[in-house]
Amino acid sequence: MVDTSHTHGKRVTRVTEVSHPLDPLTESEISAGRQILVDAGYVTETVRFPAVLPVEPDKKATLAWKPGKPFDRSILFVMLDMATGISHEAVVSVTDEKVTSYTRVGSDVHPYGQPPYLFEEYDQVEALVKADPRWLHAMERRGVTNIDDVFCAPLAPGYFGFEDEIGRRMIRSLTFWRANKEDSPWAHPVEGLLVTINLTTGEVVKVQDEGDIPIPQGSGNYDVATVGPARSTLKPIEITQPEGPSFSVNGSLVEWENWKFRVSFNSREGLVLNQVTFNDKGEDRSILYRASVPEMVVPYGDKSINRFWISYFDAGEYLLGKNANPLVLGCDCLGVIHYFDGIAADDHGNPMVVPQAICMHEEDFGVLWKHTDLNFNPDSRRSRRFVISYFATIGNYDYGFFWYLYLDGTIQVEAKATGVVFNGADVPGTAHPHANEIAPGLFAPVHQHIFSARLDVAVDGNDNTVEEVDVVGIPMGPENPYGNAFTYTVTPIETEGSRLADNLKARSWHVKSGHRTNYTGASTQYQLVPQGNPVLMAQPDSYVAQRAAFATKHVWVTKYEPNEIWPAGMYPNQHAGGAGLPAYIAGGDSVVNEDIVLWHQFGPTHIPRTEDWPVMPVDYSGFMFKPYGFFDVNPAMDLPDGNASCSCCGSGRCGTDTCTCTHGH
């Protein structure tokens, strides 16, 4: 493990030596695994690696593992032969130095499905499009003769049963004009022009050219030269921790206050948290075995030729982790920062480092608890949270994934959507039912961002049950003579299935232990509190609803199976549908006092506005996972009373600024 100190209060960890089964893949492991494949004769000049992922170690063996004992480290290499379009999955044990399985991917057999795209293929798309005479003619007809700076966006095509696409490695391209290389392409969409490409044959199979909507000419740039001088009225805010941070890092293991967990990272999911526990009276009590956001879908509601097919699966089609950002102190993270480098693999299967991909820090979060008693004695404690985050950029959008751990045992997950909205063009002033005009002639379609969080829950162990809790009114009568009474109902989820949120009933889902109780005799629990935003708006019989079935429900409950990680299946790219969560629940297994996984879908439904242009302020969405009878009392009762802005004259109570003390104001 390399732990390098830097100035300005930041440290960076890159795990280079594996000491735990759940450590992230290292550069040396990826290199060793690739070399094993080379030596076995599986790697030729035309083979590329769309995905390189850790094989999750056996859960029971991991839970029973003790330091110093051996364990296996295996890697899944997805290998695409670009000459034939045929892909294979190779599992390599770098521990035993051998290929343990080599299986063909059924991309040409129903229900199909292609591996994620390569960076190399993006360059291939631009070269093919710009060499096609039909596209050149379409651009000339629009008055564009200099194509050097034109941007050809490579985009996943979805699945629609088109005969010339099924079972083939396809991609589409939309065109965006630019005045120069520094110009924002998203301000200048070429409406009505769509190119479809077969990546294996290198053939432009179709150029569709409809309409003559003028290319919008307004600027979408947001640099200083365009925006003008920055305001000078904001005074500096400094975040300091003169005694250093309250957390420690040892390899992948992180400890903060009562929390303990392991950080991991891979090219598809990005950030993964493992074995999340909370120390209660000297006992590390388990809450989550594994937690991540392994998939998301961005379906568009516009039926035009340029957008009816758009429904991006940003993890399964493009790889969130591989597209992670190097984070910068003072811009992406503030305070005393600890970074983790992210390790992924490039198109050739070689290790690829994303420096400072994961950011960790503490931040103040207002009042945690407060009360002024009958004698007018105030007590107050400041809240603080621990932040673990990363950002990924997929084309025009940027996504931040933030995990917050609070002093009272609460876990919050937040997705931050920002970047640039994806635009089309129309005649200025046109009334458009599926898009909003955000600048003259520039129309941003309605769309959704639906994230899927996978919570491998372990609330006081692996014998868990999920209960749906609703608040309900009671009709007036003998049970409610004055009309004021209401109650709550508890409905156990007994078999694998899915559920919708209902904010009118304050619906939440409780994960309870099958064996442990608190001091009132009730089962210890954690409560998932949803925001309850809309699920997938597309119609149930639509192609996207078949492919993104996970997004049609807020919650799915499945019995744990080791290979059930991907909500839309392993290969959502050009998949006909039915993979992932619908397949996972097909057996209808019991989920009462079982090792279960809770999947939660959340995210914004976006009707773009003028304020989203030219760069969009962050749109926040997420959920809370809160202790509910997990602790006997408030676990933050023992917080010190001398926090930063609190004057506490030695009495153990937080008073006013009128008293004099050495550790207050």
DSSP assignment of 514-543: EEEE-TTSPEEEEEEEE-------S-TTSH
pLDDT tens track for 78-124: 999 999 999 999 999 999 999 999 999 999 999 999 999 999 999 99
pLDDT at 664 over 60: no
Mean pLDDT of 13-19: 97
The pLDDT, as a whole number, for residue 642 is: 60
| Confidence at 147, pLDDT banded by 50, 70, 90 | very high
Preceding omega of 115 cis (within 30 degrees of 0): no
The pLDDT, as a whole number, for residue 384 is: 96
Q: What percentage of the chain has pLDDT greater than the value 70? A: 95
The pLDDT, as a whole number, for residue 211 is: 78
Tokens of 271: 């950030």
The pLDDT, as a whole number, for residue 10 is: 84
pLDDT at 467 over 60: yes
**One-letter amino acid identity for 483?**
G
- For residue 46, what are the contacts with CB-CB under 8 A and spacing of at least 6? 81, 82, 83, 84
pLDDT at 606 over 50: yes
Higher-confidence residue of 63 and 661: namely 63
| Confidence at 573, pLDDT banded by 50, 70, 90 | very high
Give which of 342, 358, 353 is closest to 402, Cα–Cα.
Answer: 358
Which residue stretches of 494-613 are H helix?
543-547, 581-584
| Confidence at 649, pLDDT banded by 50, 70, 90 | very low
Query: What is the DSSP pairing of strand 447-448 with strand 450-457?
Result: unpaired
pLDDT at 644 over 80: no
**Looking at 314, 398, 408, 595, which residue is catalytic?**
314
pLDDT at 652 over 90: no
**CB of 603 closer than 8 Å to CB of 450:** yes
| Confidence at 645, pLDDT banded by 50, 70, 90 | very low
Q: Identify the structural domains of the chain with CATH numbers, from first to last.
A: 15-106 (3.10.450.40), 119-227 (3.10.450.40), 247-462+495-628 (2.70.98.20)
Longest dimension (CA), the chain: 85
**CB of 162 closer than 8 Å to CB of 170:** no
Is residue 72 part of the annotated active site? The answer reads: no
Give which of 500, 608, 603, 508 is closest to 554, Cα–Cα.
Answer: 500
pLDDT at 656 over 70: no
| Confidence at 641, pLDDT banded by 50, 70, 90 | confident
The pLDDT, as a whole number, for residue 3 is: 54
pLDDT at 9 over 90: no
| Confidence at 375, pLDDT banded by 50, 70, 90 | very high
Which of these ranges, 270-279, 331-340, 572-581, has the smallest mean pLDDT? Answer: 331-340
Q: Chain-wide mean pLDDT for the chain?
A: 95
**Looking at 397, 404, 406, 571, which residue is catalytic?**
397
pLDDT tens track for 430-466: 999 999 999 999 999 999 999 999 999 999 999 999 9
Cα–Cα distance between 456 and 292 in angstroms, integer? Answer: 9
Q: Please tell me the pTM assigned to this model.
A: 0.95
Is residue 314 part of the annotated active site? The answer reads: yes
pLDDT tens track for 524-563: 999 999 999 999 999 999 999 999 999 999 999 999 999 9
Which of these ranges, 151-155, 193-197, 329-333, 435-439, has the smallest mean pLDDT? Answer: 329-333
User: Strand ranges (DSSP E) for 44-150?
Assistant: 47-54, 74-81, 86-93, 98-104, 112-114
**CB of 470 closer than 8 Å to CB of 489:** yes
